[in-house]
Amino acid sequence: MSATTANAEAEAGAGSQSKGRGQGRGRGARERVLAAAARLFAAQGINATGMEQIAEAAPVSKRTLYAHFRTKNDLVIAHLQGLSASGVTLETVLTREDVSPLERVLGLFDQPAPDAAPVRGCPFIDAAAEFPDPESAVHSYAREQKLRMVRLVTALVTELGCREPAALAEQLVTLADGAASRAMVLDEADYGRHARKAAEILLAHALSDAA
């Protein structure tokens, strides 16, 4: 299942990791802050994590922390951007060029980090849930990632020659997001196998109708 995991999020959201407490606080501070934020956000949630706690875990002074991230929203968005570029989110498989369009779509239902635990849901859905105001910067960023996901799937099923690709793409991403959420709740990394079977049926029908 393509739900992310706490360990994967912590590693990915960091970008580059801290080189240790022995280095000067001004060197690599941004990366250390992102690494600490990723670990804490994955372990206890975004809203439950304070900026002072992140500064202590980095470790950096609060002055240094706010020099890099003027607000917590800025830090959260930078964290999510790191995840987007990391290769551990649902959307990553959709842009791979070493597998067929069909396998890219079905890859939405495979766990990208099967050996890590506990299972985490989609970080963009998690972030939107913690920032429920649709106009907030974090919610808006999460929404754009989910819209990008459906655009990528639409392009792939169009390439496959499926009938009504836009509607099919919405059905497939709904399956993927729902399965990711259930995998997290149940802490079952391969829960996506159920949604994958449903996706295979949808794709088979769409391809046969187009034939």
140-198 pLDDT, tens digit per residue, is 999 999 999 999 999 999 999 999 999 999 999 999 999 999 999 999 988 999 999 99
- Look at residue 89 and give its three-state secondary structure: coil
The values of phi and psi at residue 66, to 5°, are -75, -15
Residues 6+ apart with CB under 8 A from 169: 150, 153, 154, 157
The Cα–Cα gap between 139 and 125 comes to 9
Predicted TM-score (pTM) of the model is: 0.82
Q: In this prediction, what percent of the chain has a pLDDT beyond 70?
A: 83
**What local confidence, expressed as pLDDT, does residue 22 receive?**
39
The Cα–Cα gap between 184 and 199 comes to 20
The two three-digit tokens of residue 198, written as one number = 């449903």
pLDDT of residue 118 exceeding 90, the answer is: no
Q: In this prediction, what percent of the chain has a pLDDT beyond 90?
A: 70
pLDDT band at 11 (very low <50, low <70, confident <90, very high): very low
The Cα–Cα gap between 51 and 105 comes to 38
pLDDT of residue 24 exceeding 70, the answer is: no
